[in-house]
């Protein structure tokens, strides 16, 4: 028994475990940076093929993204501020309690009157009183929002740090891509070198193609939703469209979330009942276009998972980490599945298993 070899392996494993524990707080940063780098890599590589230095290619892509974000911000922020002021104006300039102002909205008033009619038939139910209590509870939660923001300042600072740090990490991942690849391959024994190169290329291709397909679908659904709701006359159509596009990542549940947000917006802003129907029809039309045209063309066959596995994965993600994990549980599980599948196929081809 080679005790020197055993001790060396134990030391290496211990160092790996300690490294995982030490770097665990930044794992989310690294994963997000890797995803961002995978999405941008084709643009950077195409510029590099045109004899633009890779570091300059990355800077050029970043400059374009910064310009688009700046244009988007200058267009969207004033509009969102104006819409927010209009929404607050519904309740601000009145001596009545907020609950009474909400009850004055046409759709809410019709629901309240319907519940009152039920209470007249069965007084013990008390639906109308519970409805008013629900509105007052919502108002209290909104009133406590500033306090919640102050109490969770560390979380807010962490989010700001995340937004700033991820592009920096991604910059170095993109700029030094070949050096990082060579560094990882240098750790592989010679007998496994060819296998490692093949695996690295296939993993890059599979993961990158899938992530870019998901991003394109998010953009497509966001645009279609914004246009459809704008035509239907729904307020805050662009904001709802962006939210619905991101939520669409969650299979089965995401589209319902987007539709619920559109209908709820119509309800809160006091628009007529007919507009709720238009909003629901618009969201349904978007899903028809997405399921029959966008998803098959953009995502295509990059993901092959049984619907039951997808649904269980979404529910498990929600239970494990809330809405964020619901968003990314299916892509993450698919990526892990792809890695294991490629590893198994190539190990079989090289007769190592």
pLDDT band for 102, please (50, 70, 90 cuts).
Answer: low
- Per-residue pLDDT reduced to its tens digit, 297-307: 776 556 666 66
Any idea which of 51-60, 138-147, 279-288, 326-335 has the lowest mean pLDDT?
138-147
Between vectors from CA 38 to CA 238 and to CA 24, what angle results, nearest 5°? Answer: 95
pTM reported for the whole predicted model: 0.63
Contacts of 235 (CB under 8 A, 6+ apart): 83, 265, 266, 269, 271
How long is the chain? 353
Range of the domain at 44: 1-93
Domain assignment of residue 183, yes or no: no
Note the Cα 327 to chain centre separation in Å: 5
Domain assignment of residue 56, yes or no: yes
CA atoms 122, 125, 127, 129: torsion sign: positive
Q: In the Cβ-directed half-sphere of 128, how many Cα atoms lie within 13 Å? A: 17
pLDDT recorded at residue 63:
93
Q: Of 160 and 326, which is predicted with more confidence?
A: 160
Domain assignment of residue 63, yes or no: yes
Q: Is-contact 308 314, C-beta < 8 A?
A: no
Domain assignment of residue 153, yes or no: no
Domain count, the chain: 1
Domain assignment of residue 3, yes or no: yes
Q: How far is 171 from 152, CA to CA, in rounded Å?
A: 30
pLDDT recorded at residue 9:
77
| Mean pLDDT computed over 19-45 | 84
Task: Give the range with max mean pLDDT: 119-123, 175-179, 316-320.
Answer: 175-179
Note the Cα 105 to chain centre separation in Å: 32
- Per-residue pLDDT reduced to its tens digit, 109-153: 666 677 777 777 767 777 777 777 776 676 666 555 555 555 666
Q: Is-contact 128 119, C-beta < 8 A?
A: yes
Q: Is the pLDDT of residue 1 over 60?
A: no
Between vectors from CA 11 to CA 8 and to CA 16, what angle results, nearest 5°? Answer: 125
DSSP state of 47: H
Q: Of 46 and 154, which is predicted with more confidence?
A: 46
Domain assignment of residue 79, yes or no: yes
Q: Of 327 and 318, which is predicted with more confidence?
A: 318
Quick one: three-class SS letters along 313-344?
HHHHHHHHHHHHHHHHHHHHHHHHHHHHHHHH
303 phi and psi angles, rounded to 5 deg = -130, 125
DSSP string, 186-237: TTS-GGGHHHHHHHHHHHHHHHHHHHHHHHHHHHHHHHHHHHHHHHHT-TTH
- Per-residue pLDDT reduced to its tens digit, 240-289: 888 888 888 777 777 888 888 888 888 777 677 788 888 889 999 998 88
Domain assignment of residue 84, yes or no: yes
213 phi and psi angles, rounded to 5 deg = -65, -40
Q: How far is 74 from 84, CA to CA, in rounded Å?
A: 16
Domain assignment of residue 89, yes or no: yes
């Amino acid at each position: 028994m080679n005790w020197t070899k055993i001790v060396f392996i134990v030391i290496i494993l211990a160092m790996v475990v300690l490294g995982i524990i030490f770097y665990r707080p930044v794992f989310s940063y690294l994963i997000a940076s890797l995803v961002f780098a995978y999405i941008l890599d084709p643009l950077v590589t195409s510029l590099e093929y045109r004899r633009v230095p890779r570091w300059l290619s990355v800077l050029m892509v970043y400059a374009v993204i910064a310009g688009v974000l700046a244009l988007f911000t200058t267009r969207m922020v004033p509009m969102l501020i104006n819409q927010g002021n209009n929404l607050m104006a519904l309740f601000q300039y009145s001596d009545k309690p907020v609950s009474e102002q909400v009850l004055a909205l046409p759709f809410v008033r019709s629901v309240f009157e319907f519940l009152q009619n039920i209470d007249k038939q069965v007084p013990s139910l008390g639906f109308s009183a519970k409805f008013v209590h629900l509105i007052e509870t919502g108002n209290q939660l909104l009133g406590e929002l500033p306090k919640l923001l102050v109490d969770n300042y560390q979380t807010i600072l962490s989010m700001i740090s995340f937004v700033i740090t991820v592009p920096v990490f991604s910059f170095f991942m993109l700029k030094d891509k070949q050096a990082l690849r060579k560094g990882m391959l240098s750790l592989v024994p010679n007998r496994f070198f060819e296998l490692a190169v093949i695996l690295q290329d296939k993993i890059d291709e599979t993961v990158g193609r899938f992530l870019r397909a998901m991003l394109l679908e998010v953009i497509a659904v966001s645009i279609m939703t914004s246009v459809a709701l704008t035509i239907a006359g729904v307020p805050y159509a662009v904001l709802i469209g962006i939210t619905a596009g991101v939520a669409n990542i969650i299979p089965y549940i995401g589209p319902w979330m987007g539709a619920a947000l559109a209908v709820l917006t119509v309800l809160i802003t006091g628009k007529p009942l007919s507009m709720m129907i238009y909003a629901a029809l618009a969201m349904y039309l978007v899903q028809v276009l997405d399921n029959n045209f966008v998803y098959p063309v953009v995502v295509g066959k990059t993901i092959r998972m049984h619907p039951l596995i997808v649904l269980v994965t979404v529910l498990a993600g929600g239970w494990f980490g809330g809405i964020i994990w619901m968003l990314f549980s299916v892509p993450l599980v698919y990526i892990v599945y792809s890695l294991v599948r490629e590893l198994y196929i190539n190990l079989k081809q090289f007769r190592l298993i």
